[in-house]
Structure 1
Amino acid sequence: MIEPDETMSRIGHGMWLSQQGERDAARGVFTEIWNDVGENGDPLHRCAIAHAMADVQDDVREELAWDLRALEAADLITDERAARAGVAGPVAGFYPSLHLNLGECYRRLGDLDTAREHLRQGQAATEALGNDGYSQMIKIGLDRLAERLASAGHQTHRNT
């Protein structure tokens, strides 16, 4: 049975604020929730908070730090826990998005080898995704990251 999850509802509110362009307000909500959950709290909550918090950072290094926290927490989530929270698929479905975000951060920081490794991991994890709009969005994002990395590789070779 799916139980109402106040923390996930609060995270959803922060995400709504972010989508409305209220990045500062969203950061405030996510910071408050993160402080309530704590570094050793429920991994599902930590993953969701960190994943959302990364999206409202202005500095790519801060974004990367939050994305890494999200990945670390995802590794601790069980499918059973995710199902109790209403997650439709397996936890494995979290990884394409997490690796996409990490790959993009590393690309923006100029660490193209690490970016390519996260791209590879994200692409490999797409088999856990369904066939819906979210899945298509993530797959398109991975394709775009691959294109940007290929272009960056060509620019590097031309400059040497």
Structure 2
Amino acid sequence: MPSLHLNLADDYRRLQQTEPAYEHLELARKHLDQLPDNPYGNLIRSGVQHVADALAAGNTQPLESSPST
């Protein structure tokens, strides 16, 4: 679930739709405790922060961590 919301937040960020981007980041954060303490969980947790930072900066470019880049 956190991964889905993270991806949606990033998509909305890139579309410059900040309100739904922030909503999906919040939903992702609500479910972070469900993630295991392993590389996958760490990837998603760091991705949430990375997208949040880009959103706050107004960055709409693909992020380095984006699978499509």
Return the TM-score normalized by structure 1: 0.36
Identity %: 37
Q: CA offsets, 1:85-125, max 9 Å, x none?
A: xxxxxxxxxx1100000000000111011000000000111
Q: 2:31 aligns with which of 125, 145, 159?
A: 125
1:99 paired residue number: 5
CA distance in 2, matches of 1:133, 1:149: 24
Gaps of 5+ in 2: 60-69
The SS at the match of 1:130 is coil
Q: How big is the shift at 1:152?
A: 1.3
The SS at the match of 2:58 is helix
Runs of 4+ in structure 1 off by over 2 angstroms are none
The SS at the match of 1:123 is helix
Q: Give the letter aligned to residue 39 of structure 2.
A: G
Q: 2:46 aligns with which of 140, 143, 150?
A: 140
Gaps of 5+ in 1: 1-94, 154-160
Q: Give the letter aligned to residue 13 of structure 2.
A: R
CA distance in 1, matches of 2:45, 2:33: 10
Q: How big is the shift at 1:143?
A: 0.4
Return the TM-score normalized by structure 2: 0.82
1:150 paired residue number: 56
Q: How big is the shift at 1:149?
A: 1.1
Q: CA offsets, 1:37-87, max 9 Å, x none?
A: xxxxxxxxxxxxxxxxxxxxxxxxxxxxxxxxxxxxxxxxxxxxxxxxxxx
